[in-house]
Amino acid sequence: MEPGQPIRLRLDELPPLEDNQLFELTLEDETGSPTGLPTGPIEFIGRAVEI
């Protein structure tokens, strides 16, 4: 990901979504999380909605 640039994710590459599912995007080091779980600050919080 590049700062300030959009990113697109394919739905078929994500786990199944549930209505009103919560998403949090965190800012991790370039090498990723050392634990495999989010460790960086939360940059965005949103919920899935049907469109």
Q: What pLDDT, on a 0 to 100 scale, did the predictor assign at position 1?
A: 67
Q: What pLDDT, on a 0 to 100 scale, did the predictor assign at position 43?
A: 92
Whole-number Å distance between alpha carbons of 30 and 8: 19
Whole-number Å distance between alpha carbons of 10 and 25: 16
- The pLDDT tens digits for 1-50 are 677 788 787 878 878 878 888 889 898 888 888 888 999 999 999 988 87
- Which value, to the nearest 10 degrees, does the dihedral of the CA atoms of residues 30, 31, 37, 39 take? -50
Q: Domain ranges in the chain?
A: 11-47
3-state secondary structure of 46: strand
Q: What pLDDT, on a 0 to 100 scale, did the predictor assign at position 50?
A: 76
Q: pTM, whole model, 2 decimals?
A: 0.55
